[in-house]
Amino acid sequence: MTSKVAYLTIDDAPSLTMNEKVDYLSRKGIPAVWFCQGALLEQQPGMAIRAIRNGFILGNHAYNHPYFSDLEIDECFAQIRRTDEIIEALYERAGVQRPMKSFRFPYGDKGGLRYSEVFKPYSETGRERKQALQTYLHQLGYTQPVWDQITYRYYRASGLQDDIDWYWTYDVMEWSIFADEHQFGIDSLEKVLARMDEDEPEGCRGLNYGGSAEIVLMHDHVDTAIYFEPLVERLLEKGLVFVLPGM
């Protein structure tokens, strides 16, 4: 299998199983950006500090994981700012300089009143809301790397590279196993693994395509913790070489 660059991002941290995942990734030499909920950071600050001291990066995933399109714009700002302050304080407690400010919208909902439908045009009001949030992230010092090695046409055409928040190119979708509604019928580890073998580069299933890097999305959920290591191992078998992005 030909190797290709990948960036591991893990949403909804910290869970009660974060330490085990940090230890596993550390043993494997795999870096990751953990997109954290502010409310969970307040409950489990020690796990977050431990991750920082082990060389991992904490990103902002809002305070309590709402759909941003359901909020007033000032509430959106507060979700971002409150979590930013929590993360800043955790880096200070860890005695580590914060290396970057990264943000991911919960559900991929950029606040444009269409939830996670980022591949469809927004209304004028939606565009204004989305731009207001992008401007606010910029004012707080948030940035997105220049993903030079991501070449997917859909990613470029949708303007995902131009936004400040981080999106993804491949969702492992292990979260669907325990969801109330199993997206695409994914209700087992076997189906998650089978999806990894699909070859639809422009359909967000490009693990087997050597022409682009990947931003991989996983989740720090207690329910799926037993699948974390097997899924990362399968990603490695696919030839993914995980690195941190240059900023």
Give the pLDDT confidence score for residue 103 in this predicted structure.
98
Residue 247 in domain: no
Is 86 inside a domain boundary? Answer: yes
Residue 227: half-sphere exposure toward Cβ, Cα within 13 Å: 23
On whether residue 219 sits in a domain, the answer given is yes
**Distance, CA of 132 to CA of 154 (rounded, Å):** 24
Token pair listed for 124: 């004028």
| Residue 105, in any domain of the structure | yes
Name the stretches of the chain with pLDDT < 50.
none
Asked whether residue 199 is domain-assigned, the answer is: yes
* Enclosing domain of residue 201: 4-242
Is 150 part of a structural domain of the chain?
yes
In tens, the pLDDT along 59-98 reads 999 999 999 999 999 999 999 999 999 999 999 999 999 9
Residue 222 near residue 175, CB atoms below 8 Å: no
Q: What is the pTM assigned to this prediction?
A: 0.96
Asked whether residue 142 is domain-assigned, the answer is yes
CATH number at 176 reads: 3.20.20.370
pLDDT tens column, 132-153: 999 999 999 999 999 999 999 9
Domain count, the chain: 1
Residue 197 in domain: yes
